[in-house]
Amino acid sequence: MTDRRFDVLVVGSGPAGSIAALVLASGGARVAVVDKATFPRDKACGDLIGPRGVQLLRDLKLDMPEAPRVSDMLVVGPTGNRVRLPARAGRTYPGHGIVVPRGQFDAVLQGAAIDAGAVLLNGRAEQPIVEDGRLTGFSVSSSSRPAGTRVRADVVVGADGATSRVAEVARLVDTRRVLWGFAIRAYYDEPIEVPHILFWTPVPASGFPGYGWAFPAGDGGANVGLGIGVLADRSAGRRAARDLDAFVEHASRVGVLAACDAPRLQSRPHGAWLKMGLVGTKPASGRVLLVGDAAGLVNPLQGEGIAQAMDSGRAAAVAILGGVEHAADRYRSHLAAERARYLSTSASVQRSLLRSPRLVAAATRGLTWPVVGNLLAGGWSISWNDLLDGAQPGIAKGVAAIAAGLGYAMTARSADRRWIAAHVI
């Protein structure tokens, strides 16, 4: 077994890991990136990158020239009522998102990190290396090198997803407290021009504990999926896979997908776990920093995680480049300033809704009633997508600010707020 030494070891090269490696390598650090997959590889996702993600790509001069733009989003209620959520440019982000299949998107980011000087090691991070009580690396093995390589570093960045091995080994996660979700998606031969979010009530007066989507996928296809919140009970995630076909039938009934006798699948369904709202995870301690899904940086209200992943990867890298000894403190300070208020509120709201299926059914019907939905649409769009910071002044921002203030006040005593206060702020 060979030994290799680096300044930083990044485990995982999805959006969070690749952006971290890119910024670190560009800043002069010696970086190793470990990933068990060979890119390009598929990933369960809606493939939609929101305005903040688009702006971050611009900031880092990462171009996706052929990515289709999407702007407004349609929210479809259980009975088929529709509300159009407008996409408006803010002071710090554009008024559109882009659609890029994750296989293509992640490969571009990984390639940029390698071009910047990061060293890619294809293999699985297996046996942790602990020195003086501190995680300093992993043994990495692959089919081509079964004997493996011991990779050590001054800092370890966990970018290895919701079920992070780094988080587990470093004892930075309490799985009993995590706000888990599961999402499953498939590609259909169905043209979709505008992204759709669908609320669903498969059982009368009992809302589905999540939502479905139908997003443009390019080439006349649609990315159709179903996400479910399961609190700490991961066994409940099986429901999303079981209900996907029934959801597709519902989407056809309400006119989002064309009515057909059988779904026209382009690919088999693919699923993934989500860890939401920072809850149950300490994002950094000592010389171990967690980014992206590993840190639970997923919006609990709508499951978006790519923009947050890239932002956290950049923030972790900047914190490390500023000096190893206080990198964890600087990184947590960034998350406290940029993410803690919104995530502590939205995690608490999501947890309450998951325990109240009748309330979910009533709320989704009420919000998509045209009179209410059209009145709230601008503020809803800002709140739903966490775009309040940087939004242009106006009525929509005012509505979103009122909603944020009420939500923050109503969840002041929640366990989720206490967790984030204790482990992030």
DSSP 3-state of 154? strand
Question: How would you classify residue 184: left for phi > 0, otherwise alpha for psi between -120 and 50, otherwise beta?
Answer: beta
What is the tally of structural domains in the chain? 1
DSSP string, 106-125: HHHHHHHHHHTTPEEEESEE
CA distances from 142 to 38, 124, 139, 148, 163 (A): 11, 6, 10, 7, 20
- Mean pLDDT calculated for residue range 180-191: 91
What does the alpha-carbon distance between residue 260 and residue 18 come to, in Å, rounded to a whole number? Answer: 41
Beta bridge partners of 33: 10, 120
The residue with tokens 């809704």 is 353
pLDDT band at 241 (very low <50, low <70, confident <90, very high): confident
Residue 106 confidence (pLDDT) above 90: yes
CB 377 within 8 A of CB 86: yes
Task: Return the CATH number at 401.
Answer: 3.50.50.60
Domain boundaries, position 127: 1-425
pLDDT of residue 143: 63
Give me the count of residues in the chain.
Answer: 425
3-state helix, strand, coil in the chain (%, to 5): 35, 25, 35
Residue pLDDT, tens place only, 382-408 = 999 999 999 999 999 999 999 999 999
pLDDT of residue 146: 60
DSSP 3-state of 258? coil
Residue pLDDT, tens place only, 124-134 = 999 999 998 89
Residue 263 confidence (pLDDT) above 60: no
Torsion 107-321-308-174 (CA) sign: positive
- Mean pLDDT calculated for residue range 312-340: 97
- Mean pLDDT calculated for residue range 210-224: 89
CA end-to-end distance (rounded Å), the chain: 41
pLDDT of residue 144: 62
pLDDT band at 147 (very low <50, low <70, confident <90, very high): low
pLDDT of residue 291: 98
What are the φ and ψ backbone dihedral angles of 351, each rounded to 5 degrees? -60, -40
**How many C-alpha atoms does 262 have within 13 Å on its Cβ side?**
3
pLDDT of residue 195: 95
**How many C-alpha atoms does 190 have within 13 Å on its Cβ side?**
25
- Mean pLDDT calculated for residue range 242-260: 88
The residue with tokens 């790519």 is 306
What does the alpha-carbon distance between residue 301 and residue 363 come to, in Å, rounded to a whole number? Answer: 13
Which token pair is 289? 């920093």
Residue 334 confidence (pLDDT) above 80: yes
pLDDT band at 268 (very low <50, low <70, confident <90, very high): confident
What does the alpha-carbon distance between residue 299 and residue 282 come to, in Å, rounded to a whole number? Answer: 17
CB 298 within 8 A of CB 277: yes
pLDDT of residue 219: 76
Which token pair is 276? 């939401």
User: Which amino acid appears at position 283 of this protein?
Assistant: P
- Mean pLDDT calculated for residue range 289-300: 96
- Mean pLDDT calculated for residue range 48-61: 96
pLDDT band at 375 (very low <50, low <70, confident <90, very high): very high
- Mean pLDDT calculated for residue range 153-173: 96
- Average model confidence (pLDDT) across the chain: 93
What are the φ and ψ backbone dihedral angles of 99, each rounded to 5 degrees? -115, 120
* pTM beyond 0.85, yes or no: yes
pLDDT band at 226 (very low <50, low <70, confident <90, very high): very high
User: Which amino acid appears at position 344 of this protein?
Assistant: S
- Mean pLDDT calculated for residue range 65-92: 94
